[in-house]
Amino acid sequence: MSENQAYDIIVVGASAAGLRAAARARRLLSNAKILVIDEDTYISYAACGMPYYVSGDIDNADKLRKTAYGIVRDPEYFRTAKGLEVIIDTRVERIDRDARKVIAARLRPGRILSTPMTNWSWPWGPVLLCYLWFPKVANASLL
């Protein structure tokens, strides 16, 4: 993703729900430019399988991210198989509805991205799918 690249739909969160919403949007709107943003490095994993990984029953965490055909669900998989652009290690800092922008910060390189949202003329109005997950964190404060 390049800075200031416009997208029709931006999904915040690349868990199963966020990626499913993005994939559904892709099926319904085949020409839409869709971006998924997630602050984690590992996306689309089976959280219900984590106890098996922690206990050692599953030796590799990537097994929780594999399709039935053994392909790991990473950003490249979603780009080639689903036609979605997925960026990881990036936190959404702010959604500016008036300017039609999503402001996000790269967690690794420290670069801030400003991504415009376009195509607001659809009959049902602006499209911004947000799936937000708030983990329980010690010493957390709101901005």
Domain-embedded: residue 37: yes
Domain-embedded: residue 136: no
CATH assignment of the domain containing 51:
3.50.50.60
Q: pLDDT at position 114, please?
A: 58
Domain-embedded: residue 108: yes
Distance between CA 61 and CA 102 in Å, rounded?
A: 31
Q: 103: how many CB neighbours lie within 10 A of its CB?
A: 15
What are 108-140's pLDDT values in tens digits? 765 555 555 544 333 434 444 443 333 333 333
Q: pLDDT at position 111, please?
A: 52
* Amino acid at residue number 108: R
Q: Cα–Cα distances in Å, from 122 out to 96, 125, 126, 129?
A: 19, 5, 7, 14
Domain-embedded: residue 44: yes
What are 18-44's pLDDT values in tens digits? 999 999 999 999 999 999 999 998 898
Mean pLDDT, rounded, of the chain: 77
What are 67-79's pLDDT values in tens digits? 999 999 999 999 9
The total number of structural domains that make up the chain: 1
Cβ pair 35, 87 in contact under 8 A = yes
Domain-embedded: residue 55: yes
Domain-embedded: residue 3: no
Segments forming the whole domain that contains residue 88:
9-130
